[in-house]
Structure 1
Amino acid sequence: MAEEQKNYHASTGVDEFYYGEVGDGIVASYIERVEYLQTIDVDMPQDITRAYGDNKTAEMAVSNGDIKVTSAFHKIPMEDKQRLLGLEVKDGITYMGSKDNPPYVATIFAKTYEDGSKEYVGLPKGLFTRPKLSGKTKEDGTEFSSEEIEAQFMDRKIDGLDEEKSVAFAVDKKGETTNRDALFMKIFGKPYPGTTTEPAGA
């Protein structure tokens, strides 16, 4: 049986940032897209701890740190900030305060490749924090600003797995969506937006 060829192509872009409120469950109450994702970094730190005895290493263990996500967009619409940050809205005014309570959300985004394939990254449960406000005067040329927002994610029960997980990956070749559709069902408990049927084995 021929071995499937490995893909060594590096990603060249990002796309399809989705989020959905999951609370303490595994099914999102909605799935919403934020367009014009520019950059996204998922920091998944690990440290190795050593135990010593007889002047040498007796045992090693891996300690996993907090998963932190930093993403930059051309602009984050106010409606998405209200949902992600749990902001109060009254009479057309949006308010932030010390008692804001952001909801637990799941997110998925895609890394794109020149050959048309995509790698989807799913984060099942986390909290977003308020972005920094900044502005700059207009000068001779036009410069577009961007908005950055941070979040931290934790382990969550994933249907079909014995242990809780905090990150999931799915890769589809050009023109294929099987793994993408399966990942949406695992992370959001809902089909990919625009589709109505659940993938086989979900």
Structure 2
Amino acid sequence: MAENKNYKATTGVDEYYYGVLDETNELTIVQASPERVKFLQEITVTPSQEIVRGYGDNKVAELATSNGPVEVEGAFHKLPSQDRQTILGLEKTTGGLYAYGSTDNPPYVASVFAKTHEDGSIEWVGLPKGKFLKPESSATSKQDTVEFGSDSITAEFMDREVPGFTEEKSVIFGYDEKGETAQRDELFQAIFGKPYPADTSTTTTTTTGA
């Protein structure tokens, strides 16, 4: 029997979450629940890999792969200052100021985001362990028409132990058909050590009169 193959192309991105990893137990995050950053515009995950050649008798005798860190670049409509401070490990004054410095050391974080399809199915992508880099800061004068800016930020992710796998991994994938959440739920537990955050924004209470 032929294997069912999925040829649905990605048409969007959504649901970016992150969490700071616990220094004593990297299988979980320090927050009670993963933190959502809304309005993700674009994200690129680039694994670093190259072929290493072994030579003999004036020809290639053997090939091997050399794997490096995974580079991630994301663009948001706006990256809130609270999230910027957290993922970059910035010092903050009691008056609310925060700053960059030569001694800054960002924490290890884990991330998850969703690649969406037109039929409602979702491919989930998990990044187990990495650090974000300080982004560039720029601004442009307002002109005759309004143009929205965006915030870009880059990171590097590395291998980490992930429950369910025998070897350490740097990128984890899961796929849910429309209306399904099994892969999403398993991925959040594997990456964050916490369940997918419950959405209480649409919860209502109905009172029936006597």
- For residue 7 of structure 1, what is the amino acid of its counterpart? N
- Separation in 1 of the partners of 2:131 and 2:198? 26
Match of residue 12 from structure 1: 11
Corresponding residue to 1:159 among 150, 158, 163: 163
RMSD: 1.2
* Greater mean alpha carbon deviation, residues 16-25 or residues 118-127: 16-25
Change (3 A) 1:40 1:8: same
Larger Rg: 2
- Identity rate, percent: 56
| Matched residue SS, 1:45 | strand
- Separation in 2 of the partners of 1:33 and 1:188? 13
Corresponding residue to 2:45 among 34, 38, 42: 42
| Matched residue SS, 1:186 | helix
- Separation in 2 of the partners of 1:175 and 1:6? 19
- For residue 22 of structure 1, what is the amino acid of its counterpart? L
Match of residue 82 from structure 2: 79
Which residues of structure 1 form unaligned runs of 5+?
A: 196-202
Q: TM-score, normalised by structure 2?
A: 0.89
Corresponding residue to 1:70 among 73, 81, 99: 73
- Separation in 1 of the partners of 2:102 and 2:58? 51
Give CA deviations for 1:113-150 in whole Å, capped at 9, x if unaligned.
00100001000000001111000000000000000000
Q: TM-score, normalised by structure 1?
A: 0.93
Change (3 A) 1:58 1:4: closer
- Separation in 1 of the partners of 2:166 and 2:117? 32
Structure 1 segments, 4+ long, off by >6 Å, are: none
The answer on whether the counterparts of 1:172 and 1:178 sit within 8 Å (CA) in structure 2 is yes
- Separation in 2 of the partners of 1:145 and 1:165? 34
Which residues of structure 2 form unaligned runs of 5+?
A: 200-210
- Separation in 1 of the partners of 2:164 and 2:117? 29
- Displacement after TM superposition at 1:170 (Å): 0.3
Match of residue 113 from structure 1: 117
- Separation in 1 of the partners of 2:126 and 2:188? 8
- For residue 109 of structure 2, what is the amino acid of its counterpart? V
- Separation in 1 of the partners of 2:104 and 2:7? 44
- How many equivalent residue pairs? 194
Match of residue 27 from structure 2: 26
